[in-house]
Structure 1
Amino acid sequence: MFEARTRLTRVILQVVVTVLVLPFLFPLAAMLQGSLAGEGWGNYAKVLAVPGFGLFFRNSAIMALATIVIVYIVALLAAYGFSKLHIRGREIYFWLLLACLTLPEVVLLTPLFVTATNLGLYNTYWAVVLPLAALQIPFAVLLARNFLNGIPNELFEAARVDGANAFRAFWYIVIPLSRPIAAAIVIFTLLASWNDYLLPLVFLQDPDVQAITLIPQFFVGEFSNDQTKVLASAVITALPEVLAYLLLQRYFERGLAAGAIK
């Protein structure tokens, strides 16, 4: 692994990293500045006063949590099978799964709509949760499999000698050692599910189940386009993601690095 050993090298690296980060900070600064234009903090008060704001926030939290649980369970189980179990044709199945990464969400919209309508899932959380989970699982499996490849096979062989079956090995070895990659999966899945706009817009027409990403629609209409409120709603919507990253930052960075290079 590359390591900066001298003060000059560390200074150069710090300058380079700072320059690379600046282009990402400018949009955030512009968003914060724009959200305080006009009425200042009153823009946030107007957003929080939107009828059903708390309900929309709760709906998004429920859908994000359900999506994270599904992706976490399925991705770890699948990665365990692809990495440590002797399954005939597992590489073929793995590459077929990765092929799903090439499918954009908008292409699947029509078949998903027909399926949700026929199964009676329209205007329910599951109409959004299940497609979101399915779209996130391939990438999560890719990360988790690379991470599990770094766990020595001797641990599983020792567990097998002690009489542990495949499930017990998964429970007592994979889950405790996979916390870093689990944090990465949680963060990526949270970003995808919390920020998703298209699926809630199409599948959730009932106001009782709509998501928080639809809040900006209250300030954009035929005769109004209050961008200050839109930016304020964007800042409020981003807060849970920022908080989750700060809480899981240590595990996230370790898991992402391990899942990418092992």
Structure 2
Amino acid sequence: MRKIDKWVIQAVLAVFALIWLYPLVQSVIKSLEINGFGNYLAVIRHPKVNYFLVVFNSFFIAVCTTLIVGLLATLAAYAFSKMQFKLKNVLFYSLVACLAIPATAVMSPLFFTAKTLGITNSYPGVILPLVAFNAPFMLLILKNYFDSIPNAILEAGMIDGASSLRMYRTIMIPLGVPAIINIAVLTFIYSWNDYIIPLLLIRDEKMYTVTLATQFFTGTTSQTPEMVAQLYAALILMTIPSIIVYMFGQNALKSGLTAGAVKS
């Protein structure tokens, strides 16, 4: 029965793998139609799209968002996990409740606020909302992981005279590396793939991200087969960086997803 169960599980996983791989394989095939790899060169040399500038914009925004979220989430997770203060649970669950608010629900106030502050068509105008939408989920992951770190380690640090900030630097951060890498990978991918916030706050073509640049490969009235092939090629090219980041962080991502599942 165990062998049969194993075969059934493997068969089910194989079916799901095929379902997920089919669109990717079809995208690659479509991107090579008509002109083959010439479609990829056409995307890079497109007269209306500075491919390298678009990639730089997305990379800069994603990296800055990842760094800020990492700093804020680690500090907040440390406080909520290991410190005692008034309204601790109220504040934590209020932040977690923000996960239920989608970006589309606050588009009007978000645009009004960014326009009032004069940060539309700028890196801060995109980075700050991305930080706000990503931080609560990353905080939840990190807090669960920090909860699994024994309090005895911190108590030993307190006996040695270590301050809270020093214990954060020398104990929580080193022990929390798997979860921190996990949230870094997730934040980078979410920021790289985000479409709503750049669409709302960016009008200058020089500030376009990879998600916005794809509109140059879609016709307003009709699309030729060459345009369709170039669109798929653009999607493949602009997905590669996030795939590379995921591949380098996949081990930490797997371990981080189960962070806090078992408390020490």
User: What is the TM-score with the length of structure 1 in the denominator?
Assistant: 0.93
Pairing 1:182-197 to 2, within 5 Å after superposition: 182-197=180-195
Contact 2:114–2:125 (Cα < 8 Å) also in 1:
yes
Separation in structure 2 between the aligned mates of residue 261 and residue 48 of structure 1, nearest angstrom: 48
> Equivalent residue of 2:259, what SS?
helix
Separation in structure 2 between the aligned mates of residue 245 and residue 44 of structure 1, nearest angstrom: 22
> Equivalent residue of 1:40, what SS?
coil
Matched with 2:141 is: 143
Separation in structure 2 between the aligned mates of residue 161 and residue 201 of structure 1, nearest angstrom: 52
Matched with 2:102 is: 104
Matched with 1:200 is: 198
Out of 36, 40, 47, the position equivalent to 1:44 is 40
Give 1:251's aligned amino acid. Answer: A
- Give the length in aligned residue pairs: 258
1:229 paired with 2:230, answer: yes
Contact 2:27–2:236 (Cα < 8 Å) also in 1:
yes
Separation in structure 2 between the aligned mates of residue 98 and residue 246 of structure 1, nearest angstrom: 28
* 1:197 CA drift (Å): 1.3
* 1:261 CA drift (Å): 5.5
The verdict on how the C-alpha distance between 1:150 and 1:197 changes in structure 2, with shifts beyond 3 A counting, is: same
* 1:63 CA drift (Å): 0.3
* 1:116 CA drift (Å): 0.8
More deviation, 36-45/15-24: 15-24
The verdict on how the C-alpha distance between 1:259 and 1:28 changes in structure 2, with shifts beyond 3 A counting, is: farther
* 1:222 CA drift (Å): 1.9
Separation in structure 1 between the aligned mates of residue 242 and residue 5 of structure 2, nearest angstrom: 33
> Equivalent residue of 1:37, what SS?
coil
1:174 paired with 2:172, answer: yes
For residues 12-33 of structure 1, what are the alpha-carbon distances to aligned partners after superposition, in whole Å with 9 as ceiling and x for unaligned? 4333322222211111111111
Matched with 2:9 is: 13
Separation in structure 1 between the aligned mates of residue 41 and residue 151 of structure 2, nearest angstrom: 56
Contact 2:39–2:233 (Cα < 8 Å) also in 1:
yes
Separation in structure 2 between the aligned mates of residue 210 and residue 20 of structure 1, nearest angstrom: 34
For residues 129-152 of structure 1, what are the alpha-carbon distances to aligned partners after superposition, in whole Å with 9 as ceiling and x for unaligned? 000110001110111011111000
User: What is the TM-score with the length of structure 2 in the denominator?
Assistant: 0.92
For residues 60-91 of structure 1, what are the alpha-carbon distances to aligned partners after superposition, in whole Å with 9 as ceiling and x for unaligned? 11000010011111111111111101122211
The verdict on how the C-alpha distance between 1:260 and 1:245 changes in structure 2, with shifts beyond 3 A counting, is: farther
Contact 1:35–1:230 (Cα < 8 Å) also in 2:
yes
Matched with 1:3 is: none
Matched with 2:259 is: 258
Percentage identity across paired residues of the two chains: 37
Contact 1:124–1:209 (Cα < 8 Å) also in 2:
yes
Separation in structure 1 between the aligned mates of residue 123 and residue 217 of structure 2, nearest angstrom: 25
The verdict on how the C-alpha distance between 1:194 and 1:261 changes in structure 2, with shifts beyond 3 A counting, is: farther
Give 2:256's aligned amino acid. Answer: G
Contact 2:44–2:50 (Cα < 8 Å) also in 1:
no
Pairing 1:19-168 to 2, within 5 Å after superposition: 19-50=15-46, 51-168=49-166
Separation in structure 1 between the aligned mates of residue 15 and residue 261 of structure 2, nearest angstrom: 24
Separation in structure 1 between the aligned mates of residue 261 and residue 76 of structure 2, nearest angstrom: 17
Matched with 1:240 is: 241
Separation in structure 2 between the aligned mates of residue 17 and residue 169 of structure 1, nearest angstrom: 43
